[in-house]
Amino acid sequence: MPPASIAENAAVLLRDLPSGVTLVAAAKTRTPQEVSAALDSGITDVGHNYVQEAAAMIPAVARATRWHLIGHLQRNKARKAAELFDMVETIDSERIAAALSRHCEDLGKVMPVLIEVNSSREPRKAGVLPDRVFDLARAIAPLPGIRLQGLMTMGPFSGDPEDARPYFRTTRETFDRIRGADVPGVSMRHLSMGMSHSYRVAIEEGATIVRIGTKLFGPRIG
């Protein structure tokens, strides 16, 4: 999509978002030029699904922005993720969290992370089942190289946005439970929910981060 069209889309989206909600530009399959156009338009955060593709894009964009990992993190990519990203939204096991923490310690940084919740309980989706999130939060809270700051969920990829509401609500209720427990080392600030077709419903259900690709960049190719 031409930069002018991305700028127009960004302006509409940023006007639409309430104060306190961050738009993360979902950059899967996008070019550095498209991402740069989004950043020129006032967007401050970019999300990528794949560590390897982000490793190529980040130096090509070469801009001051916050990079989020919004795709599944494999343990053998934890070191590279620690180097590249400013937030990892997809922690789904103690093993992955420990690996990321160790590599962040080596780099002298503390990485903000979110636990990914499989709120729809779909076998093929990544994430932790809602009834196991609290135990994982307590398990990873002491890790020195990361800081748990909230939860993330995917929800349905398409269809009626209202179909996503129960999953967003479940994730928010889990978020509230952890925040209310005042777990040492945990600072529940972020609730990452909603994509291009469902972000308005997600915001109604408490999202503070929305991950938007199509409504910003246009239909994805490939």
Instruction: Report helix angle 133-140 to 94-107, nearest 10.
Output: 30
CATH class of 3-217: alpha beta
pLDDT band for position 169 (cuts 50, 70, 90) = very high
Token look-up 């995917």 returns: 154
pLDDT band for position 57 (cuts 50, 70, 90) = very high
Q: How many residues does the chain have?
A: 222
Phi, psi of 80 (to 5 degrees): -65, -40
Confirm if 176 and 192 have CB atoms less than 8 A apart: no
115 forms beta bridges with: 91, 151
Q: Which tokens is 62 given?
A: 């070469």
pLDDT, residue 221, reads 63
Over the stretch 131-155, which tens digit does the pLDDT of each residue have?
Answer: 999 999 999 999 999 999 999 998 7
pLDDT, residue 157, reads 67
- Quickly count helices (H) and strands (E) in the chain: 9, 8
Domain residue extents for the chain: 3-217
Over the stretch 67-95, which tens digit does the pLDDT of each residue have?
Answer: 999 999 999 999 999 999 999 999 999 99
pLDDT band for position 222 (cuts 50, 70, 90) = low
First and final CA of the chain: distance in angstroms?
A: 14
91 forms beta bridges with: 115
d(CA 133, CA 114): 11
d(CA 208, CA 202): 9
